[in-house]
A and B are shown apart, each in its own frame.
Chain A
Amino acid sequence: MTLKIIASQCTSCSACEPECPNVAISEKNGTFVIDPKKCTECIGHFDEPQCAAVCPVDNTCVIDNSFPRYQPPA
């Protein structure tokens, strides 16, 4: 799995971008998006997904169920 940003709720405050340990977040057309290929749910880096922890709008950085679970390297 990966996290995704609900574009309609994103305020474009940019707070999540520098917090991501995998540089998975970037700006696109005025809102921020997560690259599902880079996101690791912060596993191996931090206890909680950083983007969700810093985001001022609740339930904006959420689990994207359309992707398979992230597998940490053994």
Chain B
Amino acid sequence: MDASVQHEQATIPDGDKLSSVMQTIAEHKGCGTSGGSGKASCGSGAGENDLPPEIWEKVKNHPCYSEEAHHHYARMHVAVAPACNIQCNYCNRKYDCANESRPGVVSEKLTPEQAAKKVLAVASTIPQMTVLGIAGPGDPLANPEKTFKTFELIARTAPDIKLCLSTNGLALPDHVDTIAGFNVDHVTITINMVDPEIGAKIYPWVFWKHKRYTGVEAAKLLTDRQLQGLEMLTERGILCKVNSVMIPGVNDKHLVEVNRAVKSRGAFLHNIMPLISSPEHGTVFGLTGQRGPTAQELKALQDECEGEMNMMRHCRQCRADAVGLLGEDRSAEFTTDKIMAMEVNYDIDSRKAYQEAVESERVAKVVARQEELASLAGQSSDIKLLVAVATKGSGLINEHFGHAKEFQVYELSTAGAKFVGHRRVDLYCQGGYGDEDSLETVIRAINDCHAVFVAKIGGCPKSDLQAAGIEPVDQFAHEFIEKSAIAWFKSYLDKVNSGEIQHVVRGDAEIRQGALISAA
């Protein structure tokens, strides 16, 4: 693979993106020493008390699996696996695998040797980098040599890094023993159906044992292999997460059944992601006008499945070469040219010390949240509402409204503050709209929220938000998210009880369809 050709395509950031990268670099420098904040457990993300101890031990510092860890730990993906063995109607293979990434994203392809060097370089620069994932740009198990060679090189030089991989499952049963042999303890399988009739509407074909299968036959093969692979992994004690893409009118109702099927086979987490499809991605669904779900539809389905098992709501559909905390991407700092020129000094002990410091911070933060929650005790109300939070990480309200590329959404009730998702509003995806439009986009994206918590906000957007019925809240700048949200909710309840304000139910919100095509 000629990396230099891909490289130009994938890594030239536009101005906005570059400045956001610079910003995250600056922020990272202070990360280790900041008194920090955050929280220990979020309902949906499953905290320490919700999971069996052996699973908690495995996921507690894995940003993709533990909602609370994603505030503190970083992951990276390396794009060593370009080929795929199936076709999904929401994927255009000019871009990365849409099961793990947003459609329309192109990653820089690497050889296993380049990938291993990159991992070491990143891990030495970002001590909270604990997880390496291989998720494409195609299917890692359709490229077994490249995938396992990369794992082998990393296991040898950086044994403290957790390995994980994501697959469509078709080739999974053939590789389970190799996966176990490399101590890969987390595998993600994308399962969109367990009924081949439904599958035939999602997958036009699969390639298996030298033959292309189509229609129901293809879907039957895929679902059998996926479920078999899932069973084989969980039997061997390997953690399995299941991703599902919610496609309204195709598999939305059916995903409840999928949830049951994967839970009974031992999957520990189910991540339901919205279909992202727009015509410019050139996917089948994009061209047929198949819509994605709204924020409320997605949340309703996640809520329905939650009784069954842990749901994951913080997935960002990262790109296959993402680097950094979820929601940020520092991959531009680590292009092939830069890594190959880097002197890497991998120091396991200092990484360990850093991670221990993060752990003790995390414990301190639970206390703050518990205290605030205790003060809610005795209040009883049926009111449940959503608020949006502008954050750069560490569980703090520490982002400027105008700089936010995404908002985290919390559901508030007398039971406390529960993280239920995030909304992307990244401005650099929009390709040349004015500020007015982008404010409207933000409002549409958080339209179902009663308030938005920010570190700072200008006068203009403030009054526009108020006009849209969303209260801008900046008095909790740089404080803990959950603690602040609960405090605000208490005063909201007081005002409702005293008749000062009336509680009204808010409408639905939009899920952003734009992908990072500006970088392509």
Interface, chain A (partner B; CB < 8 A): 11-15, 18-19, 27, 29-30, 46-48, 50, 53-54, 56-57
Determine the chain A residues whose CB is within 8 A of the CB of B54 once the complex forms. Answer: none
CA distance A15 to B93 in the complex (A): 11
**Which of B78-86, B396-404, B412-420 has 4 or more CB atoms under 8 Å from chain A?**
B78-86
For chain B, which range describes its interface: under 10, 10 to 19, 20 to 34, or 35 or more residues? Answer: 10 to 19
Closest A residue, CB atoms, query B4: A30
Whether A13 touches B85, Cβ cut-off 8 Å, given contacts A29-B2, A48-B211, A50-B210, is: no
Contact A47 B82 (CB under 8 A): no
Q: Which residue from A14, A46, A48, A57 sits with its C-beta under 8 Å from B82? A: A14
Report the minimal beta-carbon distance from A64 to chain B, rounded to whole angstroms.
20
Q: Which 9 A-B pairs have the closest CB atoms?
A: A15-B83, A56-B93, A53-B212, A30-B5, A54-B207, A13-B82, A30-B2, A46-B210, A11-B93
Report the minimal beta-carbon distance from A66 to chain B, rounded to whole angstroms.
26
For residue B138, CB closer than 8 A to chain A, the reply is: yes
Report the minimal beta-carbon distance from B136 to chain A, rounded to whole angstroms.
10
Determine the chain B residues whose CB is within 8 A of the CB of A29 once the complex forms. Answer: 2, 5
CA distance A14 to B82 in the complex (A): 7
Contact A48 B93 (CB under 8 A): no
CA distance A11 to B82 in the complex (A): 9
For residue B94, CB closer than 8 A to chain A, the reply is: yes
Contact A14 B83 (CB under 8 A): yes
CA distance A48 to B210 in the complex (A): 8
In the complex, the number of residue pairs spanning A and B with C-beta atoms less than 8 Å apart equals 50
CA distance A57 to B283 in the complex (A): 11
For residue B247, CB closer than 8 A to chain A, the reply is: no
Interface, chain B (partner A; CB < 8 A): 1-2, 5-6, 82-85, 87, 93-94, 137-138, 142-143, 207, 210-212
Report the minimal beta-carbon distance from B218 to chain A, rounded to whole angstroms.
12
Contact A27 B1 (CB under 8 A): yes
Q: Which of A13, A18, A27, A46 has the most CB of B within 10 A?
A: A13
Report the minimal beta-carbon distance from A7 to chain B, rounded to whole angstroms.
13
Report the minimal beta-carbon distance from A55 to chain B, rounded to whole angstroms.
9
Contact A13 B212 (CB under 8 A): no
Contact B87 A56 (CB under 8 A): yes
CA distance A33 to B207 in the complex (A): 21
Contact B207 A53 (CB under 8 A): yes
Contact B85 A12 (CB under 8 A): no
Whether A13 touches B210, Cβ cut-off 8 Å, given contacts A27-B1, A29-B2, A30-B5, is: no
Report the minimal beta-carbon distance from B67 to chain A, rounded to whole angstroms.
33
CA distance A26 to B212 in the complex (A): 22
Contact B212 A48 (CB under 8 A): yes
Whether A57 touches B1, Cβ cut-off 8 Å, given contacts A13-B83, A15-B84, is: no
Q: Could you write out 20 A-B pairs with CB less than 8 Å apart? A: A12-B82, A13-B83, A13-B84, A13-B93, A13-B137, A13-B138, A14-B82, A15-B85, A15-B207, A27-B1, A29-B5, A30-B2, A30-B6, A47-B210, A48-B211, A50-B210, A53-B210, A53-B211, A54-B83, A54-B85
Determine the chain A residues whose CB is within 8 A of the CB of B87 once the complex forms. Answer: 56
Determine the chain B residues whose CB is within 8 A of the CB of A57 once the complex forms. Answer: 93
Determine the chain A residues whose CB is within 8 A of the CB of B1 once the complex forms. Answer: 12, 14, 27
Determine the chain A residues whose CB is within 8 A of the CB of B2 once the complex forms. Answer: 27, 29-30
CA distance A5 to B491 in the complex (A): 66
Report the minimal beta-carbon distance from A6 to chain B, rounded to whole angstroms.
14
Determine the chain A residues whose CB is within 8 A of the CB of B138 once the complex forms. Answer: 13, 15
Determine the chain B residues whose CB is within 8 A of the CB of A54 once the complex forms. Answer: 83, 85, 207, 212
Q: Which of B83, B85, B137 has the most CB of A within 10 A?
A: B83
CA distance A39 to B5 in the complex (A): 27
Q: Which of A12, A29, A30, A50 has the most CB of B within 10 A?
A: A12
